[in-house]
Structure 1
Amino acid sequence: MTTPSHPAVDRVAEALRAAGVEPRITWFDGAVTTAQLAADALGIEVGQIANSLVFTIDDEPILVLTSGSHRVDTEWLGAQLGGTIRRASKEAVKEATGQVIGGVAPVGHPAPVRTVVDVVLADYDEVWAAAGHAKTVFPTTFDELVRITGGTPGEVEPRLEASA
């Protein structure tokens, strides 16, 4: 059986190799466009999925890699980063990453994209990210995601304070 191929996935594999990472891309029979679908397909916790969400901050693209167990609080994160965050249009996502929503990988983009990596992903020994297509994922670690993306570790939503 031949391994499927797709130009965006090939670019992700090339970017991983360039970063010194052996690409271990898994192809699924169907699309896994949500964190829950990907986690179910892999038999892992939804928190182990590194969602690649593209926003704009003051009209520049920003990639937020967030745990599948989190939502990004755009108002709060924008305040932390000193700007206004808005969800990017599908056209802006494609332009910034060369990939389409549902399969956006943390790497393999036409040019570097400012990236924030959710620190909650560090709670897991292994996390999985999309590999450029809605039917693909690859395993990695929090530290490796930070390294290969040149990203900044950070919180993506305010921590709930424990009640006294």
Structure 2
Amino acid sequence: MRWTTAGRAPAAGDLLVAPPQQEPAPPQPPPPAPSTTAAAPAHPADVHPAVAATARALAELDAGGQVVLLPPGPRTAADVAHHLGVPAAAVVRSTLLRAPGDRLVLVLASGAHELFPPSLAAVLGVPHLEEVLEAETVRRTGSVLGSTSPVGLADPLPTYVDVTLAVHPVVWVPAGHPRAVFPTRYDELLRLAGAHPVETG
């Protein structure tokens, strides 16, 4: 799989530097509600701190969707897709990677794709990228491993979004915990995260 930047100028000259905080855009129509009734809106006071931070950030950025909580159980992309009644390709997987110099990047990929850090490292012009382990993920982002939200981070990260997500009218994005996701559109996800699109294939 080959990852390349595509169709959008980076928010900063160095692709490994997080872009400045995004200004709220005019409100857009919200994404359609999930087809299931089991997903419920998250109440920040009752949830994991990373989920609460995501919910606050979505409100501050005038996002079209809000955080929803899923029932307990396994939380792979396939599980989330089955529960929501959507294709696995419309469920986003987040991966935190470390570049040389202890620089972190966040990659948001379709649940139907595998991520190959060496290929992405070549695109970014760095010698290598390595996946960040659970303890450091919690320490650096406050999120559970594999569930890092692209919004609400105390220290924003350079973020890359799989362009194949653009074919889905709604994508479901991790919100800091395996049981928490939020719905959005591809274009809105780029805005919310100040992200760079990446192309696979």
- Cα distance per residue 1:109-164 (max 9 Å; x no partner): 11110101110111111100111221111100111111111110012x4x1xxxxx
Matched, 1:56 2:98: yes
Sequence identity, in percent?
A: 34
Tell me which residue corresponds to 2:109. 66
Q: 2:60 aligns with which of 18, 29, 49?
A: 18
Question: 1:47 is paired with a residue of what secondary structure?
Answer: helix
Matched, 1:97 2:141: yes
Question: 2:82 is paired with a residue of what secondary structure?
Answer: helix
The runs of 4+ residues in structure 1 deviating greater than 3 Å are: 1-4
- Cα distance per residue 1:61-120 (max 9 Å; x no partner): 110000011111211110001111111121221233211114321211111101011101
Q: Counterpart amino acid of 1:110?
A: A
Matched, 1:145 2:189: yes
Unaligned runs of 5+ in 1: 160-164
Are the counterparts in 2 of residues 61 and 96 from structure 1 also a CA contact under 8 Å? no
Tell me which residue corresponds to 1:79. 122
Q: 1:30 aligns with which of 55, 65, 72?
A: 72
The CA deviation at 1:22 is: 4.8
Q: Counterpart amino acid of 1:63?
A: L
Question: 1:107 is paired with a residue of what secondary structure?
Answer: coil
Q: Counterpart amino acid of 2:67?
A: I
The CA deviation at 1:54 is: 0.6
The CA deviation at 1:43 is: 0.8
Are the counterparts in 2 of residues 24 and 138 from structure 1 also a CA contact under 8 Å? yes
Q: Counterpart amino acid of 1:33?
A: R
Distance 1:18 1:24 in 2: 11
Distance 2:191 2:143 in 1: 21
Matched, 1:39 2:119: no
Q: Counterpart amino acid of 1:92?
A: E
The CA deviation at 1:31 is: 4.0
Number of equivalences? 157
* Alpha carbons of structure 1 residues 105 and 31: separation in structure 2 relative to 1, 3 Å: farther
Tell me which residue corresponds to 1:162. none
The structure with higher relative contact order (CA 8 Å, sep 6+) is 2
Are the counterparts in 2 of residues 96 and 113 from structure 1 also a CA contact under 8 Å? no
Question: 2:140 is paired with a residue of what secondary structure?
Answer: helix
More helix by share: 1
Q: 1:109 aligns with which of 129, 153, 165?
A: 153
Matched, 1:5 2:47: yes
The CA deviation at 1:6 is: 2.5
TM-score for both structures, normalised by structure 2: 0.73
Unaligned runs of 5+ in 2: 1-39
Q: Counterpart amino acid of 1:149?
A: A
Tell me which residue corresponds to 1:128. 172
Q: CA RMSD in A?
A: 1.8
